[in-house]
Every structure is written in C-alpha cells, then in structure tokens.
C-alpha cells in the first residue's frame, strides 16, 4: 500500500530524514518507534504532505501511485489520514460542520455522488454512540475547550466517518487516560479495511494492539536490527 523509496527530507535547509526506505502492506498494523526527536512526526507529516517538509530526494508511492508531489488535500482524498498529536483550535467551525464537509468531499471523490444529509446523520449517530460522544459536543467549535482525551475521541469520530485506506496516528495515546487508550486500540482493532501506521512509545498502549511490524527511527534514519 505504501512504499517510501530513498526518502530524504529537510526543513529550513536542515536534514531531518535521510534515505528512508519503508514498505507497508495493506491491512498492516505498523508501529513506528524511536526516541523524541528521532524523526517520527516528521515522517508522518511528510507522508501526508505538510508543505513545511521539503523532499530533497526519493519517492512516496501510495497504492502504486506516485504522490511525492501531490498536495495535502489530494493525498487526503486518495485515502491518507493523519491523526496529529497537536491539533489546532478552530473557533467558529463546529465539529458537525467540519465532519459533514470532510465526509462530503470524500464521498464525492470516491463515488462521484453527493452525500445525503440523511446518510451522514445516520453514520454520525452510529459512530458517536460507539465512541460515547455526547451530542452537545457536535455543536462546539473544533477543539475549543476540549480536554486531551476529548480531542482524541473527536479524531476517532473523523476516522470512523471517513474510513481512510491508510491512517497515521501520531502518539494517539498522549494525554489520554487508560479508558481512552483502550477505546483508541479497540477502534484500530475493529477497522480491518484501514491500514495503520501508529507512532507510540508507551507500552501500556502498544500492548493493546497486535502490531505486525515495528520500525524504529534514530536521528532521522531507520535502525537496522
């Protein structure tokens, strides 16, 4: 599903990733490990197309398509999802409005048809109930006044509704209590059609997920065991 070929990445003329080669097959639960500053978040954001990170050489191949030069929106529509560790607050944009526009864009791209409000609300209610999210959260501004654990649940809600082919979760367990960690793990474990790349170094969380592979980064390079 995802192949990185000799990927070298810089920011502000400083090399952050060097000659990264990685292959992730469809259906994998892949753990990306490494100490703070090793390049894990840089790799995640490079794959999703954050423009601050400049690809100096190498390629990103997703579903046999070269997406190295595609922008972040196109990559998202192709099915690449990023659950970021640090998500900004967006005053004035409600959770339900954000989710509706996101789901509508994905439905239009995948099927060529518009998403009906009835279908969206039905899917939203199913996902909201599964995650134990109160209805009143849906009319609040994105992440404004939400705790760390509550933000993780909103991220999971978007994940369930958009059903991406490939999801990168950057330290989803950070700031989460044990119940939220279990909910995150359960969500990952019950989405067989989504391939996951998970960044974490907390064993009490990683042991909840049957990872098929582990890749470790150090100083911007993959460690060979």
pLDDT of amino acid 147: 87
Give the N- to C-terminal CA distance of the chain in Å, as an integer: 23
Q: Per residue in 124-164, pLDDT tens? A: 999 999 999 999 999 999 989 998 888 999 999 999 999 99
Assigned token pair, 93: 């944009």
pTM here?
A: 0.92
State residue 202's pLDDT score. Answer: 85
Give the pLDDT score at 21.
Answer: 96
Longest dimension (CA), the chain: 51
Write down the pLDDT at residue 84. Answer: 86
Where do we find the tokens 């954050």?
Answer: 50
The C-alpha torsion from 45 through 47 and 51 to 55, rounded to 10°, is: 120
Name the DSSP letter for residue 112: S
160, 131 Cβ separation under 8 angstroms = yes
pLDDT score of 10: 96
Task: Give me the residues of the chain with pLDDT under 50, please.
Answer: none
Contact 185, 209 (CB under 8 A): yes
> What is the pLDDT at residue 124?
97
> What pLDDT was estimated at residue 77?
95
**CA separation for the pair 121, 124 (Å, rounded):** 5
Domains and CATH numbers, the chain: 2-222 (3.40.50.300)
Phi–psi pair at 120, nearest 5 degrees = -60, -45
């Amino acid at each position: 599903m995802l192949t990185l070929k000799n990927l070298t990445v810089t920011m502000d003329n400083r090399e952050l990733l060097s000659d990264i080669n990685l292959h992730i097959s469809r259906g994998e639960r892949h753990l990306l490990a490494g100490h703070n500053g090793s390049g894990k978040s840089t790799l995640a954001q490079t794959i999703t197309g954050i423009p601050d990170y400049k690809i100096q050489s190498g390629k990103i191949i997703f579903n046999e398509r070269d997406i190295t030069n595609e922008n972040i929106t196109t990559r998202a529509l192709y099915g690449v999802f990023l659950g970021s560790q640090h998500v900004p607050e967006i005053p004035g944009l409600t959770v339900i409005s954000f989710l509706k526009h996101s789901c509508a864009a994905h439905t239009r791209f995948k099927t060529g048809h518009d998403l009906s409000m009835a279908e969206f609300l039905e899917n939203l209610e199913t996902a909201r109930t599964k995650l134990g999210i109160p209805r009143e959260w849906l009319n609040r501004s994105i992440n404004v006044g939400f705790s760390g654990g509550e933000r993780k649940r909103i991220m999971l809600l978007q994940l369930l509704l958009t059903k991406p082919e490939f999801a990168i979760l950057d330290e989803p367990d950070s700031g989460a209590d044990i119940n939220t960690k279990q909910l995150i793990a359960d969500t990952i474990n019950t989405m067989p059609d989504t391939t996951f790349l998970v960044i974490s170094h907390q064993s009490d969380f990683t042991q909840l997920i049957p990872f098929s592979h582990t890749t470790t980064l150090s100083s911007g390079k993959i460690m060979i065991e």
